[in-house]
Structure 1
Amino acid sequence: MDQVYIGRQPIFDAGLRLRAYELLYRSCPGCNEARVEQPEQATAQVILNLFMEFGLEHLVGRHDAYVNLPRGFLVGDYPLPFAPRQVVLEVLEDVPVDQPLLEGLRRLRRQGFRVALDDFVLEPSRASLLELAEVVKLDLQALPEGELERQVQTLRRRGLTLLAEKIETPEEFERAKALGFQLFQGFWFARPHVLQRRTLSPNRLSVLRLLARLHDPKAGVGELAEAVSQDVAITYKLLRYLNSAFLGLGRPITSLHHAIVYLGIRNLRNWVTLIAFSTLEDKPAELLVTALVRAKLCELLAPGREDGSPETYFTAGLLSMLDVMMDQPLEELLAQLPLAPEIQAALLRGEGRLGQTLRCVLAYERGDWERLARELPGPSEGSEEQGRAGAEAEACPAQRLPELYLQAVAWADQAMAELNVRAAA
Structure 2
Amino acid sequence: MFAFIARQPILDRDKEVFAYELFFRDGKNDCYPHVERDEATTKHIAKNYQTLNLDDISCSKKSFINFQSETLMGGLPASLDPENIVVELETGRNNDNSLLDMCKHVKKMGYKIALEDRRLKPSWDDFLPYVDMLKVNSNHENLDFFAKNVNRFIDSNVQLIADKVETQDSFSIFKDMGFDYFQGYFFARPVSVTNKNLPTSKLTLVELMGASSSESFDVESINSVIEHDVGLSYMLLRFINNPMINKRYKITSLRHALNYMGEVEIKKFIALLALAKLSDDKPLELLHLSLVRGKFCDLVGTEKNIGSNPPTAFLVGLFSMLDALLDQEMESLVEKLPLVDEVKEALCGGQNDLSMYLMLVKAFESGNWLKVIRISKILEIDQKLLHSLFNEAILWGNGVRRSISPHFPASKV
TM-score by length of 2: 0.46
TM-score by length of 1: 0.45
